[in-house]
């Protein structure tokens, strides 16, 4: 198994909520995101995915939140934006952004 990872950061605020009510005050983080692609074999040029495609897809998703309030993002309205929810969002969106190569996404870690 071969893996390649890209890590980035973005600064954003958020509030966790339950039943539409905040369960903590609004606060900010320097969010860190790591996205990993994997394959059992390397392609003809010796890579799992084109690293520049991975980097761009992750950066494009992170840019949606940088210096913003995560709760105000249209795709996350009504969702309590925990780190786990953000990991799921990044996984889905990076996978889409990578086209065919997205099938090689293995995991996303957010902290």
| Model pLDDT, residue 81 | 97
| Model pLDDT, residue 20 | 87
pTM of the predicted model over 0.85: yes
CB 58 within 8 A of CB 21: no
pLDDT per 10-residue tile (average), the chain, 111 residues: 97 96 96 98 96 98 98 95 98 98 98 96
| Residue ranges with strand state E in the chain | 2-14, 17-18, 21-22, 27-39, 68-69, 105-110
Q: How far is CA 79 from CA 35, 43, 64, in A?
A: 22, 38, 16
Indicate the length of the chain as a whole number: 111
| Model pLDDT, residue 67 | 98
Angle ∠(104,99,76) on CA atoms, nearest 5 = 90
Residue 52 CB partners (closer than 8 Å, separation 6+): none
| Model pLDDT, residue 36 | 98
């Amino acid at each position: 198994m071969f893996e390649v990872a890209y890590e980035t950061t973005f600064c954003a605020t958020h509030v966790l909520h339950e039943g539409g009510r905040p369960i903590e005050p609004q606060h900010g983080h320097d969010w860190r995101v790591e996205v990993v692609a994997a394959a059992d074999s390397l392609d003809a040029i010796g890579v799992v995915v084109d690293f520049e495609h991975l980097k761009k897809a992750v950066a494009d998703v992170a840019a949606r939140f940088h210096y913003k309030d995560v709760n105000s993002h249209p795709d996350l309205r009504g969702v309590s934006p925990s780190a786990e929810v953000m990991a799921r969002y990044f996984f889905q969106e990076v996978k889409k952004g990578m086209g065919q190569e997205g099938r090689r996404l293995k995991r996303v870690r957010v902290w």
